[in-house]
Amino acid sequence: MSEILNVSNYSFSYDKKLVLDNISFGVSDSETTILIGANGAGKSTLIKCIAGIQKSKVGDITLLGKNYKEYKRQEFAKNVAYVPQNIMFESMSVIDAILLGRLPYFSHPSKQDYEKVYEIIQKLGIEHIANSDVQKLSGGERQKVAIARALVGNAKLLLMDEPTANLDLKSQYDTLNMINVLKNDGIGIIISMHDINHALEVGDKYVVLKDKKILAQGDVNILTEDLLHEVYDLHFHLIEHGNTKHFHIEGENHEH
């Protein structure tokens, strides 16, 4: 594994209000990094900064060894893909919606662009909806189309903001499975998640945010009952079955 993204001493302010304070961490290929934190901790803002949507002059982010400031927008777009929490599409076919992910490569789509779209449709198993109107799909199906759009440009880094929020149970399960498949393709993935048990299903590395700062980072062993209590102000009970971990939330007044 090699490092593809490095965030170093990065701070971000919005309307003169500090939202991210001195953030430093790295992401490697074939690795899924989960950003954990309560609402307002700065997870979504950090994802947007890494996606190039928000920009700050304080600190540095490097992608594949090159500083963000040196990238041209289209070159950057070829390497970093983003799946937002609230997915919007204009009324168009799934094929055309996914084709938009090839925009960094074309003004008018070529045969090769369409081939890439069909490839990703097959990979994600969404052939049955390929010609449907994307606006008429269920939340889970639209999520898959958004992931397909993000991946069709051959990005090295995939960013997802709360991908399981607003989905039914089956779609949550499908999305988590899909993330694990993608990781095996060698891309780096960063996901913001508030559901700790979903995070455990897909995460290799965890960056825990609280009050705009990184509280802890590392592998699954950093996730302790005390740390999660500090982050969410809830009491968690850790249940371990062999190599798998699961957290059970106990009543707020429960002492253990």
Among 84, 140, 163, 203, binds other proteins (CB under 8 A): 84
Residues of span 32-51 touching other proteins by CB under 8 A: 48, 51
Which has the closest alpha carbon to 63: 54, 72, 146? 72
Cβ partners under 8 Å of residue 136, min gap 6: none
Shortest distance (Å) from residue 215 CB to other proteins: 27
Q: Which stretch binds other proteins (CB under 8 A): 57-65, 99-107, 168-176, 221-229?
A: 99-107
Using rule CB under 8 A, residue 80 touches other proteins: yes
Using rule CB under 8 A, residue 92 touches other proteins: yes
Using rule CB under 8 A, residue 243 touches other proteins: no
The identity of residue 201, as a single letter, is E
Residue environment code for 190-222, b if the CB has 16+ CB neighbours within 10 A, otherwise e:
bbbbbebebbbbbbbbbbbbbebbbbbbeeeee
* Three-class DSSP category at 211: coil
Using rule CB under 8 A, residue 103 touches other proteins: yes
Using rule CB under 8 A, residue 163 touches other proteins: no
Using rule CB under 8 A, residue 64 touches other proteins: no
Using rule CB under 8 A, residue 90 touches other proteins: yes
Cross-strand bridge partners of residue 17: 14
Residues of span 120-139 touching other proteins by CB under 8 A: 133, 135
Using rule CB under 8 A, residue 112 touches other proteins: no
Q: How far apart are CA 190 and CA 34, in angstroms?
A: 6
* Three-class DSSP category at 91: coil
Number of helices (H) and strands (E) in the chain: give both, helices first: 8, 12
Q: How far is CA 192 from the centre of its chain?
A: 6
Q: Which residues bind other proteins (CB under 8 A)?
A: 48, 51-53, 73-74, 76-78, 80-82, 84, 87-92, 96, 100-101, 103-104, 106-109, 133, 135, 153
